[in-house]
Amino acid sequence: MQESPFLRACRRLPVSRTPVWFMRQAGRSLPEYRKVRADVPMLEACARPDMIVEITMQPVRRYDVDAAIYFSDIVVPLKAIGLDLDIKTGIGPVIADPIRNADAVKRLRELEPDDVPYVTEAVGRLVEELDGRPLIGFAGGPFTLASYLIEGGPSKNHEHTKALMYGAPELWGDLMRRLSRITLEFLKVQIEAGASAVQLFDSWVGALSAEDYRASVLPHTSWIFEQLGGLDVPRIHFGVGTGELLGLLSEAGADVVGVDWRVPLDKAAQRVQPGTALQGNLDPAMLFAPWEAVAERARDVLDRGRAAEGHIFNLGHGVLPNTDPEMLARLTHFVHEQTEQ
């Protein structure tokens, strides 16, 4: 079988068409998702192979996307090691006792494959059902996970996180090392079960200056990517508001850097290291404009994406909850049609 355009673009090989998938393509914006989730709390859904398989497949049935993304959440491995946390509708992850001192950090134990048997089972079933279409595994990046743990929930300014990072560098290092090991193990479980690429969502690192990112986050993320290096699975690295960090996100060891909508892809291509493919970067809010405007912008993304060594079409961040699924269907078709060789 011909290798998929998605995996080929990750590896910077010529493609028969520009591959496309959407961050957060599963869930939220789909009526069929809301239906199956109606009586099932989010974290329960993430621990049930039947739900995981169904929700992961929903967007694949609807759109001709070139990859599926495993249905889960970045806090699932933290729940699996016993942290008291929940995902609240309309809010996001909420941690009962925020982690702000050495005792709390020490309680973060390693993740074992046996903590997440449902991941192994669901990935295996998905690989079979996807029949050659790649499955992307994912995990949260260490800064983003640390932010939820330290703040206790979603945060705009990450003030407690930065207080710990600047004020207690050793404790910060310990926390980052523990989270990196958990993230690595969570990704390895997905890869060993058959995921053919992984994405590290360090969504909130854009809150840091380049200097602080280099000193306090990069060493940990580099370690994760290095550990994954021998597994022959493309590694995608994504964050929001990372215009100033794009070079460092690739330096961390990613094969593909995900770019939000703020930096045009031709500029982003100059900022990443040679040997890096790009993923992105249509503004997700753009999908609320009339189709003609969307098409024009999508064409611009494709044109600028040609400056990259490989391009995977995506949005600049996740699909917004009220997005019309019809727009995503049209957009997927448009990207394929414009780029078919």
Q: Annotated active-site positions, please?
A: 24, 28, 37, 73, 148
What is the bridge-based pairing of β-strands 197-201 and 135-140? parallel
Q: Does 26 bind ligand 1CP (CB under 6 A)?
A: yes
Q: Does 73 bind ligand 1CP (CB under 6 A)?
A: yes
Q: Does 24 bind ligand 1CP (CB under 6 A)?
A: yes
Shorter beta-carbon distance to ligand 1CP: residue 144 or 314: 144
270: exposed, middle or buried (Cβ count in 10 Å: 0-12, 13-18, 19+): exposed
Query: Which residues have C-beta within 8 Å of that of residue 276, sequence separation ≥ 6?
Result: 250, 254, 255, 256, 257, 308, 309
Contact window for ligand 1CP (CB under 6 A) among 7-15, 66-74, 101-109, 171-179: 66-74
Distances (CA, A) of 215 to 67, 109, 165, 208, 248: 34, 24, 10, 11, 11
- Is the Cβ–Cβ distance between 180 and 224 less than 8 Å? yes
Contact window for ligand 1CP (CB under 6 A) among 78-86, 89-97, 111-119, 280-288: 89-97
Q: Does 74 bind ligand 1CP (CB under 6 A)?
A: yes
**Binding residues for ligand 1CP restricted to 93-112, rule: CB under 6 A:** 93
**The dihedral of CA 113, 118, 124, 126: what is its sign?**
negative
Minimum distance of ligand 1CP from residue 2's CB (angstroms): 26
Mask of contacts with ligand 1CP, 276-315, x by CB under 6 A? ----------------------------------------
**The dihedral of CA 149, 152, 156, 162: what is its sign?**
negative
Q: Does 69 bind ligand 1CP (CB under 6 A)?
A: yes
Q: Does 154 bind ligand 1CP (CB under 6 A)?
A: yes
Report the distance separating Cα 29 and Cα 251, nearest Å: 34
Residue type, 74: I
**Which residues make up the interface to ligand 1CP (CB under 6 A)?**
24-28, 37, 42, 69, 71-74, 87, 89, 92-93, 138, 144, 154, 201, 203, 318
